[in-house]
A and B are shown apart, each in its own frame.
Chain A
Amino acid sequence: MWLGHPVRTALAASAAVAWLGLAPAAAEQPQHGGTLTVSLPNDAKSLDPTFQINFSERQPLYLLFNTLVGLASDFSVKPELAKSWEVRDGGRLLVLHLLGGVKFHDGTAFDAKAAKWNLDHRMTDSVNSPSRVQLTELIESVDVQDEATLGIRLRGPAPSLLGMLAQREGFMISPQAAEKFGPSFGQNPVGTGAFIFKEWTPGNRIVVEKNPNYWEPGKPYLDRVVFIQTSNPVVGIPRLLTRELDFIGALSPIEVRTLDKQSGIKLERSPGSRWLALQMRIDRPPFDNLRLRQAIAHAIDRKRMVDIVMDGKATIAEGFTPPGLWWFDPDLRSYAYDPAKAKELLAEIGLMPELQLTLSTQPVVLYQQISQLAQEQLKAVGLKVRVEPVSVSDWYPQLIQGAINFLPIRWTQRPDPDGLFTYLFHSKSKANTSRYSNSQVDELLDRARSFGDESKRRALYRDAQKLMTHDLPYIPLFFTVEYAAMRDNVRNFVWIPDEIPRFREVWKAAP
């Protein structure tokens, strides 16, 4: 009977709006025009997706190029250049139905032939693309079935492939332009994207302009996006205040403290899905001892780490998967913080007092902080740990050679669990650098590796995660959180769990 009361109704309505996660601004009509200036933290090396490795450098790529399929904000795969797809032959053939009438910026048509050329190009040995191994591991051959139909013949069921085709591996470049420019295509990128490459001054800025013939009707909204190389947030934040920048991504919770109450600036928290863990090499001493790994896990106070490093804002990782992804298991629990238990386990093993662990740390602030905290917490239970620097590009080769065996590491989520799980934990994976080997886990991952029903796969992945969490090849810490800071007239920015900012749909209101 009180429901008719106007104030109550308004309250109920606003509560409903808040509950649905719809800001009132969502009702605003998108405005066309304007320039968005974005901070780019690294100097881009190449705008050719074939050779790109750096994460932050991919921001301009999503404007210049389309991928075969796209990613929604919940990390599900959605249509892009392929309007639909199906799996045939018991998971051995992926058929993509492509959009018709899409043209590259140089006027040539995008069709199945161009798509095949792109995938073949990336898989060719002599091209040296960093995507080659990932693709060739899954793909046997690519065939043009007709102008708008692409058949990808697979070596076996490959659920992670679609997600890859929505990311770096799936960017479609113009074959003609690639031929014309040769090695300098990276300075003259040509795609089908919503924006056309305009100019690039290495070390200073990249400018892309609206593609007037873009295939998505009414898009994009912005006339121009300018990426300004900004070496450091210490420089970036003043630029946001002077309006020289509209957007900065990848800010830590500590860095945004000064921006929290600034007028004219708004913050968007990232989904917090990148997994941070302590990795060990477990096929040889000392980490081949499960009880030692358990003792370390019990000694680590993850909450304290989150409080200090992430200002208390990150989710503690009980396993490998952040809440919100379909293969997340809410009941999974890792080893709890319990220093007494850790000491007990260490006493049981009777470790020799000369045991000294070396925590190898890349010169990245986050890793350095984590290593120092881990060192302090392990010391408290009687484990001696040395923190040793290792360069960004060397940790991997050194890990493979066994020169380093204990390190903090962060992994970005992939759109399908098969992506990261098989990659890091299957005993036959070339990238399984912890050398974890559990035949039960292998079997579960193999069985889950089908395009089939999500609920069946979920059950298999939950079982696998339980085993992996118990076996501890990695000690899960937390899911890192980043912030994007932007001028408050920037609209429609949406985070995707891979945490690479996308600007294709962004528009600017009058300031």
Chain B
Amino acid sequence: MISMVGRRLLWAIPSALLITALLFFSVAGLLGSPAAFMLGQDATRESIAELNARLGFDRPLIVQYLDWMGRALAGNFGRSYSSHQTVAEAILPRLPVTLELGVAAVLLAAIMAVGLNSITTGRTVVRPMATALAVLGVTLPNFALGLSLIFLLSVKLGWLPSVGWAPWSAGIGVHLTHIVLPIVTLSAYYYGTFTLVYRAEYDATSQRLFVRVAKAKGLSEGQVSFRHVLPNSILPVITYVGLSLGQLMGGAVVTEALFSIPGVGSLLVDSIIARDYPVMLAIGMLTIAGVVIMNSAADALYAVANPQIRLK
């Protein structure tokens, strides 16, 4: 178990190098130096050249990248070019927001997917509905769903605010009513994928011998479904939850923009647009770390859910 996590972490290093290099060379190579952006429309040729020289943007890209990497490895991620904050100051306040949104959305999606597809009472009605929802979730783009929800629940019914974030200090109730819409919007897609994965596994498990034995023992449909089929079908969902949470460390760009949520995703987009390399690269690294940590956590959860894995 520990050696597995160790191996994972070791693999994270080349991945981090690759991702940050890709990010840096594509953005810096294709889009050019941040100097023109920092100076705005009033810039002149001289002022751009001067700022490039002063900040070292006139050096070869590989030198600039290695310079950044060297400092990053020493723990110095630098300052944002546009806000002049340290990278930690720029990212850290946004991290809990992204985590809250991501974790809540993925958990909601997982619970709904597993729950709706395991329910045995009224299955003939619930199942087709669960399927329809899953198809909608996977096919409907996030912004279209978000806008429809805003139109229906905020504009027409006036139940929920369309601004998707209020600080905890505004009160727990206020905070929660603000974040409901974005969580639902974001979870729709994950609900769709989780349903597809879970349903296939669930149906396969239902055919297995021990399920028939359980039924033969006289257990109710519900007991069979929740006690025997569910625990034996949930592993792939756990994998997907882990993967999804890892990806979400990079932020949920569209949902964040739609609901004005101060998360990591909007920061990543802004930093790419502004050629704010220190911030952009740090978020790249953070995403890698997120994927690795969440995958390891999913593996650890496997063992909890399924004793067979613990024994091996």
B39 touches A53 (CB 8 A): yes
A401 CB → nearest B CB, Å: 9
Which of B38, B85, B163, B258 meets A228, CB within 8 Å?
A: B163
Q: Select from chain B the residue with minimum beta-carbon distance to A398.
A: B32
**A205 — which chain B residues lie within 8 A by C-beta?**
260
Question: CB-defined interface of B94-120 with A at 8 Å, one 1/0 digit per residue?
Answer: 100000000000000000000000000
Which of these binds chain B: A196-204, A286-294, A312-320, A439-447? Answer: A196-204
**B interface, CB within 8 angstroms of A:** 31-34, 36-48, 51, 54-55, 79-80, 82-85, 89-90, 93-94, 147, 150-151, 154-155, 158, 161-163, 165, 167, 256-258, 260-263, 266-267, 270, 273-275
A242 touches B161 (CB 8 A): yes
Chain A residue total in the interface (Cβ 8 A) = 45
A128 touches B147 (CB 8 A): no
B44 touches A393 (CB 8 A): no
B262 touches A201 (CB 8 A): yes
A128 touches B51 (CB 8 A): yes
CA distance A495 to B109 in the complex (A): 47
Which of A133, A202, A235 meets B42, CB within 8 Å?
A: A133
18 inter-chain pairs at a CB distance below 8 angstroms, sorted by A residue, are A45-B270, A46-B82, A46-B83, A53-B41, A133-B46, A183-B85, A184-B85, A202-B90, A202-B94, A204-B262, A205-B260, A228-B163, A235-B162, A235-B258, A393-B37, A394-B36, A430-B44, A431-B44
Question: CB-defined interface of A381-405 with B at 8 Å, one 1/0 digit per residue?
Answer: 0000000000111101100100000
A258 CB → nearest B CB, Å: 12
B46 CB → nearest A CB, Å: 6
A231 touches B84 (CB 8 A): no
A311 within 8 A of B: no
Q: Select from chain A the residue with minimum beta-carbon distance to B32.
A: A394
**A interface, CB within 8 angstroms of B:** 43, 45-46, 48, 51, 53-54, 125-126, 128, 130-134, 183-184, 186-187, 201-205, 228-232, 234-235, 238-239, 241-242, 244, 391-394, 396-397, 400, 430-431
Given the interface pairs A183-B84, A186-B83, the reply to whether A43 lies near B270 with Cβ below 8 Å is yes
A-B contact sample (4 more), CB < 8 A, given A238-B154, A393-B37: A128-B55, A131-B42, A202-B90, A230-B260
CA distance A332 to B51 in the complex (A): 40
CA distance A203 to B47 in the complex (A): 30
Q: Select from chain B the residue with minimum beta-carbon distance to A241.
A: B155
Q: Select from chain B the residue with minimum beta-carbon distance to A187.
A: B85
Q: Select from chain B the residue with minimum beta-carbon distance to A50.
A: B84
Which of B33, B40, B258, B267 meets A202, CB within 8 Å?
A: B267
B38 touches A397 (CB 8 A): no
A396 touches B36 (CB 8 A): yes
The dominant DSSP class at the B interface is helix
A234 touches B147 (CB 8 A): yes
Which of B34, B150, B263 meets A203, CB within 8 Å?
A: B263
B277 CB → nearest A CB, Å: 13
Q: Select from chain A the residue with minimum beta-carbon distance to B257.
A: A231
CA distance A80 to B257 in the complex (A): 37
**A394 — which chain B residues lie within 8 A by C-beta?**
31-32, 36
Q: Select from chain B the residue with minimum beta-carbon distance to A431.
A: B44
Q: Select from chain B the residue with minimum beta-carbon distance to A230.
A: B260
A128 touches B161 (CB 8 A): no
Give the interface centre of B40, B41, B94, B147 by most chain A CB atoms within 10 Å.
B41
B158 touches A242 (CB 8 A): yes
Given the interface pairs A203-B266, A228-B260, A393-B32, the reply to whether A133 lies near B84 with Cβ below 8 Å is no
Q: Select from chain B the residue with minimum beta-carbon distance to A201.
A: B262
Would you list the 9 A-B pairs with minimal beta carbon distance, nearest first? A53-B40, A203-B262, A204-B262, A430-B44, A45-B82, A393-B37, A231-B257, A183-B84, A130-B39
**B256 — which chain A residues lie within 8 A by C-beta?**
203
**A231 — which chain B residues lie within 8 A by C-beta?**
257-258, 260
A43 touches B266 (CB 8 A): yes
